[in-house]
Amino acid sequence: MAPEALPYPGLVLAGGASRRMGRDKAGLRLPDGRTLLEHALAVLAAAVTGPLLVSTAGPVPPGRLQTWARAAGRAVAVCPDLRPGRGPLEGIRSGLRAVAPAAWLAVLAVDLPGAAPALWIHLAPRAGDDGPVLPVAGDLRQPLAGFWPAAVLPALEAFLDQGGRRVQQLLQAVPVRWQPVTAAGMLVNCNTPAEWAAWTGHPAGARPPAPGVE
C-alpha cells in the first residue's frame, strides 16, 4: 500500500462479456504471470485503504476469492451486477450501493493493463467535487479509471432504469472533473486480440514505463 493511499473503497469492473476479445479478459495473463484481474486488484489495493470489491456477472467459486485476496494482499468481496450484461454502469451502481455510506468509490476496469496506483492518488477527490473525478490525456478520456461519488447514484439509477447504458451519455448529464494526466498509457484499455497483442508486445513488457501523472 502506498504511503499516500486514500481512505476509500475500491471496485474492479470485471462483469463484462468480453465479446470483442473472444474470451474472458479478466483471465488474460500479463508477461509477469498475473492475470489482468490480479493486476487490477493489486493496483487498487495500493491506491486505497477501504474494502475491495470485484464486480461480476454472478457468483464465483470460493477458491477464486482466495486467489484474488492473495493478489490484493487483503480480503476481496464479490459484488454481482444487479442486471448482468448491461455494461459497466451496472457494476458501478452495484458497487456504490455495496459500499454505502462511503462518499467515494475508486473504480478500475479490468482491461486497463497500464493502470498504476499513482493515478488514483493524482485524482484524489477535493472539497466541492460532486461528480466523478476522471482522467484525461490529450483526447483520451477514461471514465472507468477514477473516482465515482455516492452523490451521483440517484442520477445513475434513473439513467439505467430508463434503459441507458452508455457511460459517455450519462457523463453529459452529471458534473465531471476531468483531471489532466500525461501518462496516457495508464488509460488505454484492451478490447480485442489485436489490442492485447500490441500491448503485450511493448518493449517494456506488459506495461510501458510509468511516467508521472501530473
Sequence spans of domains, the chain: 10-200
Question: Are 126 and 41 contacting, i.e. CB atoms less than 8 angstroms apart?
Answer: no
- For residue range 141-170, list pLDDT tens digits in order: 999 999 999 999 999 999 999 999 999 999
Burial of 176 (0-12, 13-18, 19+ CB in 10 A): buried
Q: Angle of helix 62-72 relative to helix 36-47, nearest 10 degrees?
A: 50
Higher pLDDT, 105 or 127: 105
Average pLDDT across the chain, whole number = 87
* pLDDT the model gives residue 214: 42
Q: Does the annotation place 127 within a ligand binding site? A: no
Arch. (CATH architecture) of 10-200: Alpha-Beta Complex (3.90)
* pLDDT score at 25: 79
Alpha-carbon distance of 26 to 16, in angstroms, equals 9
pLDDT of residue 20: 61
Q: Which of 15-19, 31-35, 182-186 has the lowest mean pLDDT?
A: 15-19
Band of the pLDDT at 1, cuts 50, 70, 90?
A: low
Closest by alpha carbon to 120, among 102, 149, 150, 146? 146
**Does the annotation place 81 within a ligand binding site?**
yes
The Cα–Cα gap between 186 and 183 comes to 6
Is 63 assigned to a binding site? Answer: no
Residue 18 has pLDDT above 50, yes or no: yes
Helix H or strand E encompassing 42:
helix 36-47
